Chains A and B, each alone.
Chain A
Amino acid sequence: MRNAVKEVVSGFYSLIVGMRVTIGQFFKPIVTVQYPHETLKIAPRFRGHIELVLDPATGKPKCFACKLCERACPSDCITVEGAKLEGAKKRSVTAYHLDFTKCSLCGSCVEACRDGAIRFSRDYNLAGWSKEDFIMDLFKRLELEAQAASPEKVDGRAVPGLIAAQDAAHQDKTKTDLK
C-alpha cells in the first residue's frame, strides 16, 4: 500500500517534470525555417549534379573528353564524346550526357577529373514531370546558358558574360526570395 502511494506520487511528479520541459520550450527561439519563403544557405561542398566548367581564357568548356569521369562512375551514368577540332591542340568535348536517374551523387567523377573541368552544380530544385527531364545534356545546357548571357566586362577584361553569370549563380543560388 505504502509503495503504491509512493509510486503514484513519484509518477505524478515525473509527469510534472516533463511538463515543465515542454512549457520551457515556449520561451525558446524557434528553430524551424519557413521554406519556401526562407531558404538556408547551401553548404560550400554541396554535392549536386555535375556541370561543365568554362575556361575563362577561351570561353569554351575546360573538358577535353578524357573520359576519366566516365570510367570512375559507379553507375555508368556519364557519357562523354569528344573530337579533335581543326587547329586545336587538344580534343574538345562535343557531347556530355548525364543520366541523372541513375546518379547517386557520390562525386567520384569530380574527384577523378584532373583539370577541374566539372564541378557540382548548386541546383537543388530538381523536380520534374518526366524521366527525360533527368537525362541531361550538360554541353547543350552550357551552350544555352551562353546564348542567354551577353558578353560583359569583368575586371577590365572582356569575358563571356556567362562565366560571370555562372560564377555568380554558383556562388549563391540560395538567395531566391519567394516572398
Chain B
Amino acid sequence: MTTQETIVSNLADVPRSNGGGVETFVLNVGPQHPATHGVLRVKMTMDGEYVLRAEPVCGYIHRMHEKMGENRTYAQFLPNTSRIDYLSAMTYTHAWAGVVERAAKIQPPPRAEYVRVITSELNRISSHLVWWGAFLLDLGGFTPLLYAFDDREMILDLLERITGARLTYCYYRIGGLYNDVDEEFIEGTRKFVHHMRPRLKMYRELVTENIIFRKRLIDIGPISQEMCRKYGATGPVIRGSGIPYDVRKAEPYSAYPEFDFEIPHFREGDSMARYLVRMEEMAQSLRIIEQALDKLPSGPVMAEKVPRVLKLPAGDYCYAVEAARGRFMVRIVSDNKEIAYRAKLRTPCLSNLSLFEEASQGMLLPDALALMGSLDLVIPDIDR
C-alpha cells in the first residue's frame, strides 16, 4: 500500500492496486476510545487492516467558548481559557490576558512577565510529559506514563503552591498576576530544573533509543511541509516537518525576546521527528526557566492602572502565543463595551487534526493511531 496524494471521497475511485473494489467496512474509533484521549470520533473506512479513509467527527465536547467570550466581561472569561486546552492552561490564559492588555494599553510589570514565562514553560513541560506518557500508552508501553506523572507531579505541586489549582490555573490577570511567587517556589523550580535534566537523559535511554519503539515510529506517518502549510499545522507538528516556526521567535511576546533558546526542528516529518521535537523542547524550556530565574526582577506583579470596569476601545485586536500544541491566537473585535463583540479563538489542535485525514490514508490501523498520538490532540481544544 502506498500513501495517496488526494483524499478519497468515493471508494469507487480507489484504484484496485490500492485496495479498491474489495470488501471494505467502517470502523468507528471513539467517541469513547482510549486512543483518542477524549471524545473524538474517527470514522475509518477500512480495507482489512488498512485505512482507506479516516474522517474525524468533532463536536462531542463543544462548549461554545467563543460565544461565552461574547457574553461576559473580559475578566470573567479568564477562567474559561484554562479549560480550552486543560493541559497547557497557562499559555491560553496568557493569550487572553495579552490581547486585552494590548487593546487597553496596559503594560504588565517586568516581574509579572518573567513569572509568566516561567510558569508557561513549566506548564509546557508538564503538558509534554502527559503527551509522552499517553503517547507511549497508545503504543503499548505502560511504564513510561508512571515516570512521566512522577515528574509532572513536581510541576503540579510547584504551580499549585502559587496558583491554588493543579490544572485549571487561571493565574494570570489582565495587567499582571493573581499572586506573587514566593522564595519557596523559586527554590523548588531550581531544584526541579536540576532534577529534570538527568530525567530527560533517562527517558532517552528508556524509550527513545529502544529499538521496538524506533521501529514503530521511524518513517511512520510522514507529513510533508506542503501538507502542514495547506492545513495550517503549527507547533511540534510543523517543526517535525522541518519548518522552524515558533510564535516565541516569529512574533515575540511577553519577555521571550530576552532569553536565549533554540527552536528544535527535524526534517524527517515522520512520527519520530515530532516525538524528538517535543523531547528537545522540554530541554529548551528548562533553559528558559533557568535564565528567567536568574534574571527575575523584583517589583510589583500587577500593573497600577487597571480599571475595575474595563472597556476596550473599538477595534480589532490579536494576540498569539506558542502553546504546547502550537499557535494559539485570540482575536477580539470590540465596539467599546465591557463585553467583546466577537471573540475568536484560533486553536492549534483543530488544524493539526485536519491533516490527519490526508496523512493517514493507506496506513495500517495501529500506525494511524501512532500518527494520531504524535499529533498530540486535546479534544476540548479542537471543539472548544
Contact = CB atoms under 8 A, between A and B. Distances in A.
B75 A10 contact: no
Interface in A5-60: 7, 10-12, 14-15, 17-18, 20-22, 31, 43-47
A10 B211 contact: yes
A82 to B, nearest CB: 21
Contact of A74 (B76, B153, B157, B168): B76
Interface residues of B, number: 30
Interface range for A: 20 to 34
A104 interface: yes
B72 A31 contact: no
A29 to B, nearest CB: 11
A17 B168 contact: no
Nearest to A40: B157
Interface in A80-122: 104-108, 111, 120
Interface string B154-175: 0001001111110010100000
Contact of A45 (B72, B162, B211): B162
B164 A107 contact: yes
B353 to A, nearest CB: 26
Contact of A43 (B77, B143, B164): B164
Contact of B164 (A21, A22, A45, A108): A45
B205 A17 contact: yes
Contacts of A107: 164, 170, 178
A107 B162 CA distance: 14
Interface centre among B72, B79, B162, B168 (most CB of A within 10 A): B79
B72 A22 contact: no
Contacts of A31: 150, 153
B76 A108 contact: yes
B76 A72 contact: yes
A45 B161 contact: yes
A46 B211 contact: no
A104 B178 CA distance: 16
Contacts of B80: 74
Given A10-B211, A15-B211, A17-B205, A106 B164 contact: no
Contacts of B157: 43
Contacts, number: 67
Contacts of B209: 14, 17-18
User: Helix, strand, loop or mixed for chain B's interface?
Assistant: helix
Given A31-B150, A31-B153, A120-B164, A18 B79 contact: no
A75 B233 CA distance: 34
Contacts of B314: none
B137 interface: no
A104 B75 CA distance: 14
Given A22-B206, A74-B76, A47 B153 contact: no
B75 A105 contact: no
A18 B77 contact: no
B377 interface: no
B78 interface: yes
Contact of A11 (B162, B170, B211): B211
A106 B202 contact: no
A18 B143 CA distance: 11
Contacts of A106: 78-79, 170
Given A21-B205, A43-B161, 18 more contacts: A15-B212, A18-B205, A31-B153, A45-B179, A47-B163, A47-B165, A72-B75, A72-B76, A74-B76, A74-B77, A74-B79, A105-B165, A105-B168, A106-B78, A107-B170, A108-B75, A108-B76, A111-B178
Interface of A: 7, 10-12, 14-15, 17-18, 20-22, 31, 43-47, 72-74, 104-108, 111, 120
17 contacts: A10-B211, A15-B210, A18-B206, A21-B205, A31-B150, A43-B161, A43-B164, A45-B162, A46-B160, A47-B163, A47-B164, A47-B165, A72-B75, A74-B72, A74-B76, A108-B79, A120-B164
The 4 closest A-B pairs by CB, nearest first: A11-B211, A106-B79, A45-B164, A74-B76
